Amino acid sequence: MKKKQSLTTIELQKKIIRGILTIGALTLLIIFLFGNHGLYQLYILKKERSNIQEKINLLREEKMALENEKTKLQTDYKHIEELAREKYRMSKKGERVFKVIEKENNN
């Protein structure tokens, strides 16, 4: 009878240890996946980094375009003249500037 009781207590202890180890393993798995430094957080950070890198590339392109425009404004007199004519409606001596007004279609 004592052997049966000792066997059941040993089996019970084994089950308890297995349960504790299973719970511990599940806890570690959840922490690994969803913790502050887990895989999900890593995925979110990579996505955010990708978006920021994309913005950086767009800003670099814009910066280069602005630098090109700056260089043109400092050196290219034809470009300056073109801008003055288009934006400020300036003209050379003897030229006439006509303002074209488009009609609105009211149906």
Question: What single string gives the DSSP state of each residue in 15-40?
Answer: HHHHHHHHHHHHHHHHHHHHSTTSHH
Does the structure show a pLDDT above 90 at 19?
yes
Question: Do residue 30 and residue 42 come from a single domain?
Answer: no
Question: Do residue 45 and residue 86 come from a single domain?
Answer: yes
82 touches 76 (CB < 8 A): no
In the block, tokens 């814009």 appear at: 62
Asked, for residue 43, whether it belongs to a domain, the answer is yes
50 touches 43 (CB < 8 A): no
CA of residue 46 relative to chain centroid, distance: 9
Q: How far is CA 93 from CA 59, 86, 90, 97, in A?
A: 41, 16, 10, 11
Q: How confident is the model at residue 2 (pLDDT cuts 50, 70, 90)?
A: low
Residue range of the domain that includes 29 = 7-36
On average, the pLDDT of the chain sits at 86
Q: How far is CA 106 from CA 2, 101, 103, in A?
A: 105, 15, 9
Question: Do residue 42 and residue 32 come from a single domain?
Answer: no
In the three-class reduction of DSSP (H, G, I as helix; E, B as strand; rest coil), residue 77 is classed as: helix
For 32-79, how does the pLDDT look when each residue is reduced to its tens digit (9 = 90+)? 887 777 888 889 999 999 999 999 999 999 999 999 999 999 999 898
